[in-house]
Chains A and B, each alone.
Chain A
Amino acid sequence: MTKHFIGERIKRNEDPRLLTGQALFVDDVEIPGMLHAAFKRSDYAHARILSIDVSTARERPGVVAIFTAQDMGEDWMPGPPLVSPPPTVKDVTFHSRRQAPLVKDIVRHAGETVAVVIAENRYIAEDAVEDILVEYEPLPVVTDLEQALAPDSPKVHDDLDSNLAAHMYQQKGDYESAKARADTIIKRRFYIDRGAAVAMENRGIIANWDEKSKQLTMWDTTQAPIPIRNGTAARLGLSDSQVRVIAPFVGGGFGPKIMMFYPEEMLLPWASKKLCRPIKWIEDRRENFYATTSERQQLHDVEMALTRDGHILGLKDDFLHDTGAFDPYGLTIPLNTQSHLMGSYVIENFSSNCTAVFTNKPIVTPVRGAGRQQGIFIIERMLDIACKELGIDPLEIRRKNFIPPDAFPYHNVIIDQAFSELIFDSGNYKAVFKKTLQMIDYERFVKEEQPRLRSKGKLVGIAIVPFIETTGVGPYEGARVQIETSGKVNVSTGYGTQGQGHFTSFAQIVSEQLGVAVKDVHIITGDTAEFHWGTGSFASRGAVVVGNAVHAAASSVRKKVLKQASKVLATPEDELELEDGLVRVADIPAKSISLGELAALANPLRGAVEPGTEPGLEATDYFGPQSGTTASGCHAMILEVDPETMMVDIKRYAVVEDCGKVLNPLIVEGQVHGGVSMGLGNAFYEKLQFDENGQILNASLADYLIVTSFEMPPHIETGHFETLSPLNKLGTKGVGEAGAIPVPALFAQALENAFQGRDLEILETPLSPNRLFELLQESRTTKEKSQ
C-alpha cells in the first residue's frame, strides 16, 4: 500500500452538512400528529409534596394528558444504577439513590420533575404547566459539603443515617512512613466549585410508539444510544428489537448526555406508548441548568511529603465529593480524581480517603475531565507551593519527579474508573515538557521579556503544567464495515457522535485498510437499527475503542477482498494492492478489479455461496481493552492581568499532546481548542452560583459566563508528540478531555507568577476577576510578610 490516510490533515467529512445547516438534530425531526411535553419542576430544593392540583391545567384547550407520579401506577420506578461502585476497592461503602421519572413524595433538588403536561403544542404545554398548583411543605436544605456531614444536618435521604453517599480508601505504599522520612510536609486545603457543561444544544427527546407495528422509535440527544435502547425496552416490557434509538447529530455532549436515565428519558417513551402518539420535548436553557447534570465540587485536605531537594516522597489527600441529590453514576468522578492526584510523577506512597456527599443540588455526573481536572489541579498546585517553600525552580521540581520514559508500563497500584489497576502504559513526559517549554519560549520570556514588561509596570505571568489523562477504557465497542457494489464503504457503530469528527477519523482508518477515498466511506453512528452493540461516548474512548474496532473490521474486510481478488485476478494475495478503490496487481497496475465489482461478485444472484463463507464483503468486529490507555500532554501560557479590572488577557497559549498515534491532527487540534475553552471557563469564568437554599442564582447565559472568542487566546499553538500505546493495534490514546484538564492549574500558576512579589496563593477554582481582587487584597507583599 502506498497511500496513507491515518495521520493526514484531512478536512472533516461532516462539516459541509453541519456548516450549511443540513445535518439532522433531534429538534429537526417532525412527525405528523406529534405532541409536545413540558415539565412542572420543583421550585424548592427540598420539600415534601402535599398535593398536586392539575384540574385547571387539564381544562386548558389543547392539553392531551397530564401525568404525576401517582398516574404512573406500577410503571413508576427510579432509573437504573448506571455504574456500580468498584468491587475491587476494599471496604467501599456505597449508598445507591437514583432519580425517578416524577417525584412521588419528596423533592430533593430544585428542578426535579413533579408533573408532565402533554399538549398539542409547546405553548399550550408551557401554559398548562403554570396552571398546575403544587402545595409543598418546605424542608431544610443542605448545600455545603462539610455541613452535610455534620450530625445535625438535614438529610437529603431520610432513610439513610447521614448524607454520606459513599466512602472509599485507596493507598499505594505507606504514606505515614514516607512522612516520617520527609524533610518537609506541606499541608493545604483546596476548594473546587461546580460548573455546568453548557452544550450548545440542550437535551431533546422524541418518542414515537406505533401501535400497529408495535415499534417504539426514539430520537435522543444521548451519548449512549445502545444502553438507552436496552433500558427503555426493559422498562416498557418490550423486546430490544421493538425499540430503535437514534442519536443523530448532537450539539455537544461533554458528559452530561450520558446520564441514564434522565427523568424525561424515562417519561417520554412511557407516555408515547400510553397515548399512542409521538411526543417531543426539547429542554430549554433554564431547565438545562437544573435538570442536566453538572460537576466538579470537591473539598481537599492535602499533605505532601518531600525531601529538601524537592523529591516527592508521598501524597495524602482526603477529600469530599459533591454528588448532588442522587448518585446514579457511582464513583467514576472521584475514582478519576484519585487516579490523577499523582499526576505525571513518581509517587511511591499515596493515601486517599474519598467521601461522596449527598446535597440538595442537581445530580453530579462527569463533565469533560470528569474528576481528572481536580486531581491535576491539586498535584500541580502542591508542586508550585512546594517550589516556593523549598526555593526550587518550578521546572526543576517537575523534571525531578517525572515518571522516566523507561519506567513504562508504570504501575500506580490503585484502582481506576474501569475497576482495573491504574497502569500508565506508555509516555515520555520529560520530552513533552521540553517541547512545550520550547514552543512557549519559556527561558527567553523569563530572562528577557518578562523583566522588560515588568519594568513597564505590566503584570505578566507565565505558566507550564504537564498532565496525564486516563482514556480509552472498556468494556468494548464494535463496528461493521461493508463494501457496497458502488465501491463505497458503509461503516456502522453503536457509538454516538457529538462533534468529535467520527465521520472522518473512522473513515481514515477504513481508507487505510481498503484504499478508498475518505469521502467514499460513509459512517453511521448512534442508530441502534444499524448496529446494536456498544456502550457509549465517555472517557475519551472513541478513537481508541471504536477506532480499533473499525480497524479490526476493516482488516477483516481487506482479507476477504484479497482472498476473492486473488481468485478473480489469478494472482497470489501478497502480490495484490488496494488503492484508488481498486485491487490491482502491484507489478501490473492495469490488471485490476474495482472493489464495487468484487462486492457484486461476493453477493451473487445465481450459483451458491461456498460453504464456510459469508456473502458480501462485510465484517463485524469488536475491541475491548483490558485496561485504559493513558495519554499525556502539557500546556503553557503567558497572560497579562489588567491591574484596574483584574481581567485577564492571554497573550500566548501552547499545547503539546501525546495521544499516541494521531489519526488526524486537524481533529486532535479541534478537540484541544474546545477543551481549552472549557478549561478556561473552569479557571476564571464559569461557576454555578447556589444560594444556601439550593437555588441556582445564575441559571441563564446572561449571568453564567461561558468563554467566548473574546476570552480565548488569539491562537493556540499545538504540537504533537506520539508515544504509541502498546495496548491497541492503532497505537491510539484518547484526547477528548485533554484540553480541559490542566487549565485551572495552569491559570493559577500564571496568576501567581504575574503577581510575583506578593504571597498570592491560589487554593481554589474557578476564580473570577472579583475573586482575584479579593485574594489580592488578602495577600501581602514579600516585604510585609517578613515583617
Chain B
Amino acid sequence: MKLKGEYTFDASREEVWKIFRDPDVLMMALPGTKSLKQIGENDYEGELQVHIGPIAGSFGGKLTVSNEVPPESLTLTVEGNGKIGFVKGAGDVILINQGDTRTTIQYSGEIQIGGRVASVGQRLFDSVSKSMIDQGLNKLNGILQDRTAVHK
C-alpha cells in the first residue's frame, strides 16, 4: 500500500527538523504511541496501539532513520509485529523551506501489512493511517507553535 501526502508547518525548517529527531516529542504527537526509545544513533524502539475498525492491538517494533540530509530530507523505516499482525514499510520525507515560519513536508512511502490487520482491517487501513498521520502532524505543529511562542 502506498502512503503519500504533504503538510505545512508554521515553523522554520530547522525547527521542524529538530522536532522530527526528538523521540520524546514524536511520542507525544503520534496517536497511540505507548513508548518510543532511542536505542542507537538512528534507531528507535517502541510500541504503538492501534484501532482499525474491528481490530485493536499493539505493534512492537523498530523505527530507523537513514539517508539523513539535515534539514532537508530523511528516510524512515518501520518494522513492527504484534498480536494483530505485522507492519513493514519505508518512506521518504522531504522538508521544503517556505520562508522563515513555514515549512512544507512531503512524504511518500510503501507500507506492507499482514495478518488480521490486513485480512479484516485492510478496507479501513488506508483511512485510519491517513487520519493517524494527520492527527500526528497537527499535534506536532501545535507543539512547534507552543515552542516558538515560548522562544518569543
Contacts A43-B85, A43-B86, A703-B123 known; A693 to B116 CB distance under 8 Å?
no
A697 to B85, CA, bound (A): 13
- Tell me whether A699 is interfacial, beta carbon within 8 Å: yes
Name the B residues within 8 Å of A490 (CB-CB).
none
A130 to B112, CA, bound (A): 21
A286 to B115, CA, bound (A): 10
Are B114 and A695 in contact, CB atoms less than 8 angstroms apart? yes
Are B123 and A43 in contact, CB atoms less than 8 angstroms apart? no
Q: Mark B117-128, 1 if CB is under 8 A from A, else 0.
A: 011101100000
- Which of A44, A138, A697 is in CB contact (< 8 Å) with B119? A697
Are A693 and B122 in contact, CB atoms less than 8 angstroms apart? no
Are B118 and A697 in contact, CB atoms less than 8 angstroms apart? yes
- Tell me whether A289 is interfacial, beta carbon within 8 Å: yes
- Which of A44, A130, A289, A703 is in CB contact (< 8 Å) with B114? A44
Contacts A693-B114, A695-B113, A695-B114 known; A44 to B86 CB distance under 8 Å?
yes
A286 to B116, CA, bound (A): 8
A411 to B85, CA, bound (A): 53
How many residues of B are in contact with the other chain, CB < 8 A? 15
Are B88 and A138 in contact, CB atoms less than 8 angstroms apart? yes
Name the B residues within 8 Å of A699 (CB-CB).
119-120
Name the B residues within 8 Å of A45 (CB-CB).
114
Residue ID in chain A nearest B115 by CB atoms: A43
CB distance from A154 to the nearest CB of B (A): 15
Residue ID in chain A nearest B125 by CB atoms: A697
Are A695 and B119 in contact, CB atoms less than 8 angstroms apart? yes
A130 to B83, CA, bound (A): 6
- The CB with the most chain A CB atoms within 10 A, among B1, B113, B115, B118, is that of B118
A698 to B124, CA, bound (A): 11
CB distance from B3 to the nearest CB of A (A): 15
Contacts A130-B83, A138-B88 known; A43 to B114 CB distance under 8 Å?
yes
- The CB with the most chain B CB atoms within 10 A, among A44, A696, A700, A703, is that of A700
Contacts A138-B88, A703-B123 known; A691 to B118 CB distance under 8 Å?
yes
Are B120 and A700 in contact, CB atoms less than 8 angstroms apart? yes
Are A698 and B115 in contact, CB atoms less than 8 angstroms apart? no
How many residues of A are in contact with the other chain, CB < 8 A? 19
A197 to B73, CA, bound (A): 49
A696 to B116, CA, bound (A): 10
A703 to B119, CA, bound (A): 9
A700 to B118, CA, bound (A): 11
Name the B residues within 8 Å of A335 (CB-CB).
none
Name the A residues within 8 Å of B88 (CB-CB).
138
Name the B residues within 8 Å of A290 (CB-CB).
119
Are B112 and A693 in contact, CB atoms less than 8 angstroms apart? yes
A149 to B85, CA, bound (A): 29
- Tell me whether A110 is interfacial, beta carbon within 8 Å: yes
A697 to B112, CA, bound (A): 12
Name the B residues within 8 Å of A43 (CB-CB).
85-86, 114-116
A289 to B118, CA, bound (A): 13
A55 to B118, CA, bound (A): 27
CB distance from A702 to the nearest CB of B (A): 8
B residues 45-85 touching A (CB-CB < 8 Å): 83, 85
- Which of B83, B86, B114, B120 is in CB contact (< 8 Å) with A286? B120
Are A698 and B122 in contact, CB atoms less than 8 angstroms apart? yes
A205 to B86, CA, bound (A): 29
Are B114 and A110 in contact, CB atoms less than 8 angstroms apart? yes
A138 to B113, CA, bound (A): 12
CB distance from B110 to the nearest CB of A (A): 10
Residue ID in chain A nearest B113 by CB atoms: A695
A700 to B1, CA, bound (A): 19
- The CB with the most chain A CB atoms within 10 A, among B86, B118, B119, B123, is that of B119
CB distance from B122 to the nearest CB of A (A): 4
A residues 654-706 touching B (CB-CB < 8 Å): 691, 693, 695-700, 702-703
CB distance from B74 to the nearest CB of A (A): 24
B residues 8-24 touching A (CB-CB < 8 Å): none
Q: Mark A269-301, 1 if CB is under 8 A from B, else 0.
A: 000000000000000001001100000000000
Name the B residues within 8 Å of A130 (CB-CB).
83
A627 to B61, CA, bound (A): 59
CB distance from A561 to the nearest CB of B (A): 58
A414 to B123, CA, bound (A): 45
- The CB with the most chain B CB atoms within 10 A, among A43, A696, A697, A698, is that of A43
CB distance from B73 to the nearest CB of A (A): 27
CB distance from A475 to the nearest CB of B (A): 39
A391 to B119, CA, bound (A): 47
A286 to B85, CA, bound (A): 13
CB distance from A233 to the nearest CB of B (A): 36
A691 to B86, CA, bound (A): 14
Name the B residues within 8 Å of A696 (CB-CB).
118-119
Residue ID in chain B nearest A694 by CB atoms: B114
CB distance from A6 to the nearest CB of B (A): 47
CB distance from A173 to the nearest CB of B (A): 47
CB distance from A61 to the nearest CB of B (A): 19
Name the A residues within 8 Å of B86 (CB-CB).
43-44
Name the B residues within 8 Å of A44 (CB-CB).
86, 114
CB distance from A520 to the nearest CB of B (A): 49
A693 to B1, CA, bound (A): 11
Q: Mark A696-718, 1 if CB is under 8 A from B, else 0.
A: 11111011000000000000000
CB distance from A111 to the nearest CB of B (A): 9
A703 to B122, CA, bound (A): 10
A residues 530-583 touching B (CB-CB < 8 Å): none
Are B122 and A697 in contact, CB atoms less than 8 angstroms apart? yes
Residue ID in chain B nearest A133 by CB atoms: B81
Name the A residues within 8 Å of B116 (CB-CB).
43, 286
Name the B residues within 8 Å of A110 (CB-CB).
114-115
Are B112 and A700 in contact, CB atoms less than 8 angstroms apart? no
A286 to B123, CA, bound (A): 15
B residues 101-152 touching A (CB-CB < 8 Å): 112-116, 118-120, 122-123
What are 22 A-B pairs with beta-carbon distances under 8 A? A43-B86, A43-B115, A43-B116, A44-B86, A110-B114, A130-B83, A286-B119, A286-B120, A691-B1, A695-B115, A695-B119, A696-B119, A697-B118, A698-B119, A698-B122, A698-B123, A699-B120, A700-B119, A702-B120, A702-B123, A703-B120, A703-B123
6 closest residue pairs by CB, A with B: A43-B115, A699-B119, A695-B118, A697-B122, A130-B83, A43-B114
Given contacts A130-B83, A696-B118, A699-B119, 8 further A-B contacts (CB under 8 A): A43-B85, A44-B114, A691-B1, A695-B119, A697-B119, A700-B120, A702-B120, A703-B122
